[in-house]
A and B are shown apart, each in its own frame.
Chain A
Amino acid sequence: MTQQDTLISPAPTTGFSPWAEPDREPLVQFRNVTKRFGSFVAVDNVSLNIYQREFFALLGPSGCGKTTLMRMLAGFETPTSGEIIVDGKNIVDVAPDKRPINMMFQSYALFPHMSVEQNVAFGLHRAGGAAKSEIADRTQRMLKLVQLDAFAKRKPGQLSGGQKQRVALARALARSPKILLLDEPLAALDKKLREQTQFELMNIQEELGLTFLIVTHDQQEAMTVSSRIGVMRAGQLQQIGTPGEVYEYPQTGFVADFIGDTSLFDIEVQGREGDYTLAKWKGADSPVYLRSVDDSPVSEAAKVFSVRPEKVTVSREKPTGEPNVFAGKVVDIAYSGSQSVYHVELAPGVVIKALDTNRLRLVSSTITWNDQVWVSWRARSGVVLGS
């Protein structure tokens, strides 16, 4: 099998990337926002810019403060300190009903006593002075957009989970908000429907040219839908970047581990050999070879080395041409149909994960438990982290 080339340079700035333009005014700015509940710090000094037409994902484990951050933008929580600027105005003291922002709730929060149609039209009656025919028109358009025009007269109790989700989306979109907030919008759907809905969300966002902010704990969802991801942990933003950036260039061990799968090793930088930096590790007596994207020396501050399973090749024969080749024993195989992840023990207690696409049928797979194998990866495939 051939190893995919992973010598990518940091995020090619093609297409949509307003965050890379220094003159661009962000649509939303969180400035040093902190939120405390009693002695608990839910959001800890977060600063974040979100630009027009972005699909921004806040990603993190439950309790990391992502929902609180979103609720502060919606107006349901008030920051303990800091500013939230939307369109150049601080909106911290603006009531939720006066903000140009709408939210799709995790529970959907459909009004059970109203029909689908009435739910969608609810926000339009409030918009002030809109003519009846105009409201009906807009409601119809929204229902068409989410393909629910046939269900207009039903009550929420008579809809499936996926249909409820679409009503909630139509209702939140009806007022044409500047920003649409989505709180775990797909968490209640099954996997197939969730994936399909992710693409629908992306299409709708593009079609309407709106700014979306999604909160999710599902990293796959965040990677698929968003233009940029903010990874949160314990109230702090750990990293902001495009899906490619946070995946390929995680800045902390937490990000590396939370997004995708990875093997982490403690390292100690020893010296240079040509373009490579050598580091001592517990995986083998021989050092691990590191190489930065621009061939500059790897900092001594590097303490952790991370390499993703798909960057690691596992083989029976000893590969040539790579500096990082190590022997080990297969201790576990995670078979998931399209691919297998081999857990290879390099030294007692040191295990590396290697992913192999199952191009051939499992029966013809040659590597199995307790086999002696070789693992290898390119020197640029790994990432070093401070901690």
Chain B
Amino acid sequence: MSRFSPFNAVALTFGFAFLYLPIMLLVVYSFNENDLVTVWTGFSFKWYGEMFANRGFRDAAWVTIRVALISSTVATVLGMMAAVTLVRAKVFFGRTLFTGMVYTPLVMPEVITGISLLLFFVNFDINRGMETLIIAHITFTMAFATVVISSRLIDFDMSLEEAARDLGCSRFEAFMRVTLPNIAPAVAAAWFLSLALSLDDVVVSQFVNGPGSTTLPIKVLSSVRLGVSPEINALSATLIGLVTSAVIIATIIQKTRAVRES
């Protein structure tokens, strides 16, 4: 470890300033009383009140949460199944192709994913709404879930599952009782990643959402088009608060578990 030096201090300060100054500015201005975002007149919770009273925001938030919870759960289950097959299966025809195809959405421009999904739904005459939003989110988050879970499965000692089989478990039981508990951290990580991706997706959602299924990020973006209102500041600050507390809680849980294990 390098010791503390003036250079380190400067680098640290600038680095964090670069990352967090804009965010801090936003949080500070969310408590601004003035109607104009950039003119500070006084401290107030006014915009928070406005935000919570805004039905549009509330509906959008509810849509976002429901879509994220459902799509990330389904994507994790599908991703786990894909990972198990791709990692475990003996070489079958087209295995490399399948592996490649699972990873492609990771590098595919989102616009293209969005357009192709839109075309698909239009073609099959599927009305756009919550359902299409969920399907679309599953499609692109599943690839991430697969990657996260397969990287853990590759290291997993297969003889553990064989031992479970040997001790009287069916294939499914062996997976549920031995494999799953051991890859659980990766599965949880995959779920959280899918959740996060779904929560803040704009591009794909914009193509596939319909009336009544506007997600929060889209709502924010369209509001901003008419000029940044202090209400958006308050909303953003609230979201930042939520994310920060989630991270802090996760860290505390992890720390206490590590202490308990040792």
Contact = CB atoms under 8 A, between A and B. Distances in A.
Interface of A: 74-76, 95-97, 101-103, 105-107, 109-113, 122-123, 126-127, 171-172, 175
A79 B157 CA distance: 24
A175 B168 contact: yes
A97 B168 contact: yes
Contacts of A106: 159
Contacts of A111: 160, 163-164, 178, 182
A103 B159 CA distance: 11
Q: Output the residue of A102, A109, A112, A175 with the most chain B CB within 10 A.
A: A109
Given A105-B159, A111-B164, A122-B177, 11 more contacts: A75-B165, A95-B170, A96-B166, A97-B170, A106-B159, A109-B157, A109-B159, A109-B162, A122-B164, A123-B166, A126-B169
Interface of B: 157, 159-160, 162-170, 173, 177-178, 181-182
A113 B165 contact: no
Given A109-B157, A109-B160, A102 B181 contact: no
Contacts of B181: 113
Contact of B162 (A76, A112, A126, A127): A76
Contacts of B177: 122
16 contacts: A75-B165, A96-B165, A97-B169, A97-B170, A102-B167, A103-B162, A103-B166, A105-B159, A109-B159, A109-B163, A113-B182, A122-B164, A122-B177, A126-B173, A171-B167, A175-B167
Contacts of B166: 74-75, 96-97, 101-103, 123, 172
A97 B163 contact: no
A72 to B, nearest CB: 13
A107 B159 contact: yes
B168 A123 contact: yes
A350 B42 CA distance: 104
Contact of B157 (A103, A107, A126): A107
Contact of A105 (B162, B170, B178): B162
A110 to B, nearest CB: 8
A158 to B, nearest CB: 10
Q: A-B pairs with the 6 shortest C-beta distances? A: A126-B168, A123-B167, A109-B163, A109-B159, A96-B165, A113-B181
Nearest to A107: B159
